[in-house]
Amino acid sequence: MVMDTTMSDPMVGRSLDARYRVDALIARGGMASVYLATDTRLERRVAVKVMHPHLADDPDLAARFEREARASARLSHPDVVSVYDQGTDGSHAFLVMEYVPGATLRDVLRDRGRLELDEAFAVMDHVLAALAAAHEAGLVHRDVKPENVLLTADGRVKVADFGLARAVAGTTVTTTGSVLMGTAAYLPPEQVERGISDARTDVYSAGVMLFELLTGSPPFRADNTYALLRRHVEEDVPPPSSVARGIPAEVDELVLSATARDPAQRLGDAAIMHTALLRVGERLGLHGRVPALPVAATTRFRVPVADHTTRVAAVPPPPPVSPTAETTGLPDSSPRRRRRWPLLLVVLLIAVALAIAGGWWLAVGRYTHTPSLIGLTRSAADTKLKDAGLHPHWLPAAHSPTVTAGLVAVESPKPGGRVTRHGTVDLRLSSGPVTHVIPSLQGDSVTEARHTLSGLDLTIAKTQHSYDDTVTKGKVVGTTPAAGATVNAGTSVTLIVSKGVEQLKVPKGVVGMTNTAATAELRGLAFHVTHSREYSNSVAPGVVISITPVSNTLVDKGSTVALVISRGPQTVEVPNVEGESIADAIKAIRAAGFVANPHEAVPFGPGRVLREHPSGQQPLGTTITLDYF
């Protein structure tokens, strides 16, 4: 994300809620400005979105700010920008978010024009995983576009700005009033026409964005917003291969399935589109690499780095303990032994006191308690130990699932533990949680998958079942998060288990339908259709005579259904028998496949055919009248 430090901005240098110190301006929009800030309580960088003061009195905009915080707080996913806090400071309403250094996907497109196929699939892998998490949580983003996708130099992808997100109660969300929410280039037809949105709304926008990543421009352009919206309503998104060369047919099919104008014909949600994307990527042998950031995005802004130099004050060692005892000389010249026992008692008492004092020092007095240093920065821990008269001993950093990287994660002795005065405390900074790359489990049994994941300190949250054309029933199709994703140890993984190929019934009523109607119905149910044609005296031309397999038969989805289509009755030329004897004429007519109907037109004649009718090309079996005399 490119940043410009604008010291003239009145927010720079302020402290919001006595906690968030505003350090620099990142970006300014029509509704809010985003700043780089420091959380002084936790000593970490954050991004703070501050609503413009003149908009803070608008209840709708204030509600959008609160909605963004609530929506993002419901999501915990590595591909979603986290929202940490929300509040107001005077006239300033603000959100505190995870700081993601890098650039937007729009910056990358502006610099590159378009992405390579594997780069586009790598970006959409993360975007669809984030949207799938939102849909599972009952949220619709409603503003999926390149400006809301953040990329980092180390290859992370984050979906941001859930300011338009709404909870889905049932199946749809209806926009209130006459305000159309979203960005015109990515809005689906149902949102334009009826103002409603559900998970399929995000699928359409994601399909449009994938089209743009592959071709370098959105599918529709227009002179004004109204004309652009009408194109979304009235025109189908074209296949990307019609705009850019080298795009496989499988990718065209994925984009068109995501951007169908009729929501019922569209992929059902982001999880389904994500699975389809991964399946296409696997078939095409894509290895997925997030595109490199533009040079300007990594050089124009430099964030000052805190000084972590350790300064240890020299503390003199404690003086040696050398208690002295005052001894009393006994008069050697005293002859009376009874006068010596009080002196012996004094010496004994002094010895006991010294033993008690020494035992106390050895057992208690030479120890102090370690202060709590967990969660502090290195410099803060050094200072706190110095104030307690102790010395730090820094060991190599260690992984921690709970402590932010760069803060103290391990302290030995533990906080409150005993340590000798002026002694040393062993410390380790956190290097963040242990991470693992989720392996590909496709084709494994559920037992094998559980064993593999448990060996990586990952757990199975639940299993989902879905039909799959290639993976055997009961075997693993994939996971959520997907294979290749980097996750923290202890992360819950959802297994997607194959239900095998979906079984469908061959529909009723196909026999007797026209060829066009029958083919359309069968293909709509995902059957393949073949055709053959036969003559029929009873079935009109172009109408289905028979179907194989027959109706109501259970077959695999995608199976082939064979239709026999009527050619109508077969016609042949009626033999010309005029002038022939009636007996020969009858034989010829019957031999040609017709029915002879002799009719004596003139009695007592020689028995020759005067006229035959009908003549010419006639259907087999037609009755031919033979007039003879």
Q: State the Cα–Cα distance between residues 570 and 537, nearest whole angstrom.
A: 7
Beta 459-466 vs 492-498: how paired, if at all?
parallel
> Rounded to 5 degrees, what are φ and ψ at 619?
-60, 140
Q: What angle do CA 187, 190, 191 make, to 5 degrees?
A: 50
Q: State the Cα–Cα distance between residues 535 and 525, nearest whole angstrom.
A: 28
Q: State the Cα–Cα distance between residues 82 and 39, nearest whole angstrom.
A: 15
Least Cα distance to 414 among 373, 366, 378, 367 occurs for: 373
CA distances in angstroms from 12 to 1, 19, 34, listed in the order given:
18, 14, 11
Of 125, 143, 161, 202, catalytic = 143
Tokens 């959008």 appear where? 64
Q: State the Cα–Cα distance between residues 438 and 609, nearest whole angstrom.
A: 91
Cis peptide upstream of residue 549 (ω within 30 degrees of 0): yes
The torsion region of residue 255 among left (phi > 0), alpha (psi -120 to 50) and beta comes to alpha
Tell me whether residue 143 is one of the annotated catalytic residues: yes
Q: State the Cα–Cα distance between residues 31 and 154, nearest whole angstrom.
A: 30
CA distances in angstroms from 288 to 36, 74, 118, 256, 285, listed in the order given:
31, 29, 5, 21, 9
Residues with Cβ within 8 Å of 203's Cβ and at least 6 positions away in sequence, in order, are: 258, 266, 267, 268, 269, 270, 272, 273
Least Cα distance to 370 among 398, 403, 397, 393 occurs for: 393
What is the DSSP code string of 331-364? -TT---GGGTHHHHHHHHHHHHHHHHHHHHIIII
What is the DSSP code string of 264-303? GGS-SSHHHHHHHHHHHHHHTT----PPPPPHHHHHS--P
Beta 623-628 vs 609-613: how paired, if at all?
antiparallel
For the chain, the distance separating the N- and C-terminal CA atoms, rounded to the nearest angstrom, is 105
Strand partners, 566: 534
Catalogue the active-site residues: 143
